[in-house]
Amino acid sequence: MLNSIEKRRFFVSEQYIQASKNLIDGMLANGNPLAIISNDEISSRELVEGLKDSSQSIILPALFCLYQGVELLLKGFVNIKSEKKNGHEAEKLLKQFLTLYEEEKELVALF
């Protein structure tokens, strides 16, 4: 049975991953504008507004959300089977996860 911290970790993980997906979906839905072309002068506000859905503005926050989501997901799985404290290093978490769940072939295949 999951304790409240583990449940919260999985819940927040899902939120981060969904936020990443939403950011990428929004960028793609709006055509990923990379430039604004105009015969008139463009204010900085118009530039920021016009490029808010570009990959230049969205990719780093989207990757951050994805990384955070995967990190929390790995921590959640590791903490179910291990009392050992774990940090924020995804590579170490992944190694712990793969060791603890090596018999769970379908689960391991996700990572």
17, 49, 13, 22: which is closest to 33 by C-alpha? 49
Q: What was the pLDDT predicted at 99?
A: 92
Q: What was the pLDDT predicted at 73?
A: 93
pLDDT top residue among 87 and 94: 94
Q: What was the pLDDT predicted at 15?
A: 97
**Helix (H, G, I), strand (E, B), or coil: what is residue 54?**
coil
Q: Is the pLDDT of residue 1 over 80?
A: no
**Helix (H, G, I), strand (E, B), or coil: what is residue 9?**
helix
Q: What is the pLDDT of residues 39-88, one digit of tens each?
A: 899 899 988 888 888 888 888 999 999 999 999 999 999 988 888 777 88
65, 52, 76, 85: which is closest to 19 by C-alpha? 65
Which pTM was predicted? 0.78
* Longest pairwise C-alpha distance within the chain: 63
Contact present, 76 and 110 (Cβ < 8 Å): no
Q: What was the pLDDT predicted at 96?
A: 93
Q: What is the DSSP letter of 92?
A: H
The winner for highest mean pLDDT among 9-18, 19-28, 43-52, 54-63 is 9-18
